Amino acid sequence: MKCATTILCLASAGLLAIGPGCAASSRRASVQGGERRERAERDGAGETSAKIDLAAAPAAVRARIVELLAGAPIAQLERNVEDGATTYEVDWSAGGRRASATLDETGAILEREAEVDPARLPPAVVAALQRARPAGRIVSAEDLETHLYEVRIEVDGRTEELKVSSAGALEPPRRHAAKSESEEEDEDED
């Protein structure tokens, strides 16, 4: 499994959102009389979300969350079910910045977000935004990491390299010409 290059997600009225997962979550849970009441909201066909306590998550998810948060308190933990797949989204603050992660039932990190100071965005990102939205003003930024599998498959004598997220989303394929044995040996030596 390879980690994709970091994608920056910028949220602002008038600014282009770059990368998946930029929309704010509309899921809620209520707390009444000191007891947490789980309330699942239906966002669409077969989709549910419920705020849960850490103890209600599978052991692998609990262990990964403890590792990720490194002692920081959990701001919120949700169990989400979409198209039969269960994921867990945890939110916390670290060093005065908000962060979140989405995990599968095995504790594997599917996506990770961390608030970024807009003044620390790479110059290439700022330049791209200025070209895309010259009148826009950056009001917030997040560093978004997604995890991908890079797989080579052969179809009709041609090799294709596909990148697939843990959630099953495909990126556009790149085609490679068939390589000679000497080219493959050269790659093996590197």
What is the pLDDT, as a whole number, of residue 15? 34
Give me the pLDDT at residue 47, please: 85
pLDDT of the residue at 130: 94
How do the pLDDT tens digits run along the chain, 190 residues long? 333 323 333 333 233 333 333 333 322 222 322 223 333 444 455 689 999 999 999 999 999 999 999 999 999 999 999 888 899 999 999 888 999 999 999 999 999 999 999 999 999 999 999 999 999 999 999 998 887 888 889 999 998 888 888 777 887 655 555 554 555 555 555 5
What are the chain's domains?
A: 2-150 (3.10.450.360), 151-189 (no CATH)
Residue 82, CB-side half-sphere exposure with 13 Å CA sphere: 12
Q: Give me the pLDDT at residue 78, please.
A: 97
The gap from C-alpha 62 to its chain's centroid, in whole angstroms, comes to 18
pLDDT for 59 equals 97
pLDDT value at residue 32: 28
Distance between CA atoms of residues 44 and 82, nearest Å? 9
CA distances from 153 to 44, 143, 159, 163, 174 (A): 35, 31, 6, 11, 11
pTM above 0.85, yes or no: no
